[in-house]
Structure formats: C-alpha cells, structure tokens
Amino acid sequence: MIREIISHSEEETFEIGNNLSKILSPGDVVGFKGGLGAGKTILIKGILEGLGYDSRNVVSASFVIAQEYKVKYPVVHIDLYRFENNEEIHYIDWDSYVSLDKLVLIEWSEKVKDFLNFSLKIDINFISQNEREIKFDTKII
C-alpha cells in the first residue's frame, strides 16, 4: 500500500517521523530514499525523539556508516551515502544490524534494495524549498 503526505516544513517532517515511531517496532527495516537535503535525517530524528531519544544528539551517520541508539529497544541508523558501489556495501556485517531485536533505519536504501527486505520504504521528493512529498510504501501502515 502506498500513502502520500505533503510536508510544508522541517518541523512537519520531524512530526511525521515522531508519529511513525508509534507504529515501528524491533525487527522492522525502514528504507529512506531522497536527494541531499530532502529530509531523511529529519524524519529519523523525529522517529528517535518519539522513542525517547533526545533528537538534538542525532546526526547523519554519513561519516560513521552506522550509529546505534539505545531507547526502548536498539535502533540502528545506517547511512549509505558514501558508498560508491554495491561491492563495498556487501562488506558491511548486515547480520549484526538487521535482527529481530533492532529497528533499522537506512538512508540511501536504494543501494541495498536487491538484498534487503524492507518493512517500510519512504521516498522523499522536493516540491519547493520547504515542501516535501513523502511517499510510504509499506506492509505495516
């Protein structure tokens, strides 16, 4: 099922993420797709805030590839932006991240679509400087 929401601001995008936190659970793998500055990390900050983590301490995982947060349950934030090709991505120990006891949030998820199953795919597209079209393709909403 595909659903679509228009966000009119960064604050609305954050709140959408906060609301998503209420339906996500350990074992879910969420893929985020969208250009630079589209709002992927803002959505993730909202999700983590909704799970009880101080979103001011959430940064893009671009330079560390994966960041784990301890909230109600482990949440892993993976950012694949820096990976040039799929060969590099296969060197990641995916089994250590994707498990039934963790919620996994993956930015630039189109790079792993061929070998990971997603509970939820989120595609963010620019409409204007402040507006975003956020499409949800899911089995859980």
DSSP state string for the chain: -EEEEEE-SHHHHHHHHHHHTTT--TT-EEEEEE-TTSSHHHHHHHHHHHTT--GGG----TTTSEEEEESSSEEEEEE-TT--SHHHHTTS-HHHHS-TT-EEEEETGGGSTTT---SEEEEEEESSSS-EEEEEEES--
> CA 141 to CA 119: how far, in whole Å?
10
State pLDDT tens for residues 44-94: 999 999 999 988 888 776 667 889 999 989 999 999 988 876 777 877 888
pTM of the model as a whole: 0.91
User: Residue 96 — very low, low, confident or very high, per pLDDT cuts 50/70/90?
Assistant: confident
Report the mean per-residue pLDDT for the chain.
90
Q: Which domain holds residue 109?
A: 2-138
* Residue 37: φ, ψ to 5°: 80, 10
Instruction: Band the pLDDT of 18: cuts 50, 70, 90.
Output: very high
| pLDDT value of residue 63 | 66
The reported pLDDT for the residue numbered 21 is: 96
User: What CATH number does the domain containing 17 carry?
Assistant: 3.40.50.300
- Per-residue pLDDT for 15 more than 50? yes
Number of domains in the chain: 1
Give the residue from 77, 66, 64, 7 showing the smallest Cα distance to 39: 7
